């Protein structure tokens, strides 16, 4: 008799990682249950910058429009001032998140999706609602205690926080999406490499109508160069728009060696008023909290049937806005693999590729986010005179001085602000991930990839196995534009061919796998009228096999001689994944 499972996958945590995992699994027809410690989803703004890769996941899962309805649009995100106060003198202004004229087209050609700004209390309900509608179940006020795993499944021990009742759930797999203090990572004894709480920040949510100071230069981040908020690596205060332009967060660094910083309402209000710089504006404080800068990652993300993702395995500061975005992509990578194993389309070995593919990304973003903080140093040097009795005030005076010292400071600012593009216009950091694993079959004669431009700042489109399929606009039967990302994904493997790849399509039909389809570019539903696919595909009108997460799994340079050869090649490739 086959074993009975209460659910196929139990997910601990309803944050971006857990909720996206549940949504994807439910979309792929898998029974999934989420448990979460608290009575509801995130109640503070936390993550907000949503990059194109995360938006592509939302598009693939059919929630992109709902995200746009709730989000602050791209054009409000990035005309970012560095000023003595919001109402005060502007020292320099930076175009961020690809909103500047020079960079916008790089972002537009890289993806069918733009960026948006969407806070966690708005995205999490969208994920939860759609996951629930597709069959996922959610259990709040439930604490994960521990688990036992064996050859066929995982027994997970839980406690209802309201009643204290303890019970267990039997699942085929367990996902630890339980955040930066992950009990599951500890229980699995996964090694955490790096340093936790190496710096601290005060964050205060407040209400004030500041439209008059930002509408002409809309930005969700506003940097305040002021002696009162100058502590730490970033060394500036931050006014972050939560709901443009009436709800905000004020943030500033504090000295960990001196214990907890002053959080009294009087002090916090005075800090905010200094940062706004308009004595007539009275901010209404909603909540003050502290958060700490981590620089730690976990090299191995899974043990047997238990898989960890999100902040549980990559812990880093918000700089570069990579946290939620990486969580969403972890979830997308893991969910189709779990679904394929549960549906019987693939063996358990497929799941080993999850950690192999995603843990290098985790390490990369932890290092990047922390480097983004360190790279404020040259900017400080332009605006600060170390050793002066009032270093910041003296630095600002010098920066505006017409004499040689002022000229030198302004000249140095050009390099300093361009360096910050590696945080604020880092399209390559966001899009250039390449996977090497058993779920990717490299070309036989693969040479190391050469980037034609800076791989931090610029995206490089390629069909090399392990990269995401390049986005280009094709044209459907009705003449509407449709992305290469739209004709792939959605839980299926897709063999992308050209008109000359007829025998590939015949091979896909002959194989008749429920998870495999073919798309012939330049056929009626997907015309390459702009010739963009031809320019980027790097193979002849042959086959590129694209995984459900949009990653190229394998490609073949030229069309095989007949359908029989194509079938053998394709079956062999799929058999190796």
Q: Which residues bind ligand FDA (CB under 6 A)?
A: 12-18, 35-38, 46-49, 143-144, 177-179, 183, 203, 291, 310-312, 318, 321-325, 327
Q: How far is the CB of 99 from ligand FDA (least distance, A)?
A: 15
Nearest to 335 by CA among 23, 53, 59: 23
16 vs 326: CA distance, rounded Å:
9
Q: How far is the CB of 66 from ligand FDA (least distance, A)?
A: 18
Query: 23 or 409: whose CB is closer to ligand FDA?
Result: 23
Q: How far is the CB of 17 from ligand FDA (least distance, A)?
A: 3
Query: 49 or 559: whose CB is closer to ligand FDA?
Result: 49
- DSSP code of residue 468: B
100 vs 423: CA distance, rounded Å:
14
Q: How far is the CB of 358 from ligand FDA (least distance, A)?
A: 12
221-224: strand order across its sheet: 90-95, 79-83, 221-224, 237-243, 247-254, 193-207, 284-297, 314-315
145 vs 186: CA distance, rounded Å:
12
- Residue whose tokens read 């407040």: 206
Query: 128 or 396: whose CB is closer to ligand FDA?
Result: 128
Phi-psi region of 207 (alpha: psi -120 to 50; beta: other; left: phi over 0): beta
Q: How far is the CB of 184 from ligand FDA (least distance, A)?
A: 8
Query: 139 or 523: whose CB is closer to ligand FDA?
Result: 139
For residue 245, say if its preceding peptide bond is cis, omega within 30 degrees of 0: yes
Q: How far is the CB of 309 from ligand FDA (least distance, A)?
A: 7
Nearest to 431 by CA among 274, 326, 289: 326
Query: 47 or 350: whose CB is closer to ligand FDA?
Result: 47
Q: Exposed (0-12), middle (13-18) or buried (19+): which is 64, by Cβ within 10 Å?
A: middle
Q: Exposed (0-12), middle (13-18) or buried (19+): which is 362, by Cβ within 10 Å?
A: buried
Q: How far is the CB of 136 from ligand FDA (least distance, A)?
A: 14
Query: 47 or 136: whose CB is closer to ligand FDA?
Result: 47
Q: How far is the CB of 121 from ligand FDA (least distance, A)?
A: 11
Query: 185 or 351: whose CB is closer to ligand FDA?
Result: 185
Phi-psi region of 28 (alpha: psi -120 to 50; beta: other; left: phi over 0): alpha
Query: 81 or 318: whose CB is closer to ligand FDA?
Result: 318
294 vs 255: CA distance, rounded Å:
15
387 vs 383: CA distance, rounded Å:
13
Query: Any alpha helices (H) in 344-494, and if so which ranges?
Result: 352-374, 377-383, 391-399, 404-419, 421-424, 427-431
């Amino acid at each position: 008799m086959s074993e009975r499972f209460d659910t196929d996958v139990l997910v601990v945590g309803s944050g971006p990682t857990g909720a996206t995992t549940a949504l994807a699994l439910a979309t792929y027809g898998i029974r999934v249950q989420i448990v979460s410690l608290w009575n509801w989803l995130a109640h503070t703004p936390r993550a907000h910058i949503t990059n194109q890769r995360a938006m592509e996941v939302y598009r693939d899962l059919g929630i992109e429009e709902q995200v746009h309805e709730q989000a602050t649009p791209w054009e409000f995100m990035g005309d970012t001032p560095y000023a003595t106060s919001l109402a005060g003198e502007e020292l320099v202004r930076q175009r961020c998140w690809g909103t500047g004229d020079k960079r916008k087209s790089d972002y537009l050609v890289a993806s069918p999706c733009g960026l948006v700004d969407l806070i966690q209390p708005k995205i999490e309900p969208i994920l939860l609602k759609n996951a629930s509608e597709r069959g996922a179940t959610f259990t709040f006020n439930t604490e994960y205690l521990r688990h036992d795993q064996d050859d066929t499944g995982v027994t997970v021990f839980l406690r209802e926080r309201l009643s204290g009742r303890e019970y267990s759930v039997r699942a085929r797999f367990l996902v630890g999406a339980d955040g930066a203090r992950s009990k599951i990572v500890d229980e699995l004894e996964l090694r955490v490499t790096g340093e936790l709480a190496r710096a601290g920040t005060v964050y205060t949510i407040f209400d004030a109508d500041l439209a008059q100071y930002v509408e002409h230069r809309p930005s969700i981040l506003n940097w305040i160069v002021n002696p009162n908020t100058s502590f730490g690596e970033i060394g500036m205060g931050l006014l972050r728009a939560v709901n443009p332009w009436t709800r905000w967060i004020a943030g500033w660094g504090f000295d960990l060696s001196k214990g907890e910083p002053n959080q009294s309402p009087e002090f916090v209000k005075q800090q905010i008023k200094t940062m706004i710089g308009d004595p007539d504006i009275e901010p209404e404080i909603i909540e003050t909290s502290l958060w700490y800068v981590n620089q730690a990652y976990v090299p191995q993300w899974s043990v047997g049937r238990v898989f960890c993702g999100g902040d549980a395995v990559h812990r880093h500061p918000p700089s570069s806005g990579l946290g939620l975005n990486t969580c969403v992509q972890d979830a997308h990578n893991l969910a189709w693999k779990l679904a394929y194993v549960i549906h019987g389309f693939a063996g358990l070995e497929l799941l080993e590729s999850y950690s192999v593919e995603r843990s290098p990304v985790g390490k990369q973003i932890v290092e990047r986010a922390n480097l983004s903080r360190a790279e404020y140093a040259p900017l400080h040097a332009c605006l600060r005179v170390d050793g002066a009795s009032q270093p910041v005030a003296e630095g600002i005076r010098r920066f505006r001085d017409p004499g040689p010292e002022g000229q030198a400071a302004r000249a140095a600012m050009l390099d300093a602000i361009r360096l910050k593009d590696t945080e604020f216009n880092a399209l390559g950091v966001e899009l250039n991930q390449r996977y090497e694993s058993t779920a990717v079959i490299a070309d036989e004669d693969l040479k190391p990839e050469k980037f034609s431009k800076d791989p931090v700042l610029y995206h490089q489109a390629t069909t090399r196995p392990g990269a995401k399929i390049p986005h280009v606009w094709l044209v459907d039967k009705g003449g509407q534009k449709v992305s290469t990302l739209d004709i792939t994904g959605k839980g299926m493997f897709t063999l992308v061919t050209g008109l000359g790849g007829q025998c590939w399509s015949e091979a896909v039909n002959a194989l008749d796998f429920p998870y495999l389809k073919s798309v012939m570019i330049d056929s009626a539903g997907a015309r390459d009228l702009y010739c963009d696919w031809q320019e980027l595909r790097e193979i002849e009108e042959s086959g590129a096999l694209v995984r459900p997460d949009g990653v190229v799994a394998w490609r073949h340079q030229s069309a095989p001689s007949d359908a029989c050869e194509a079938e053998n090649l394709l079956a062999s490739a799929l058999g190796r994944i």
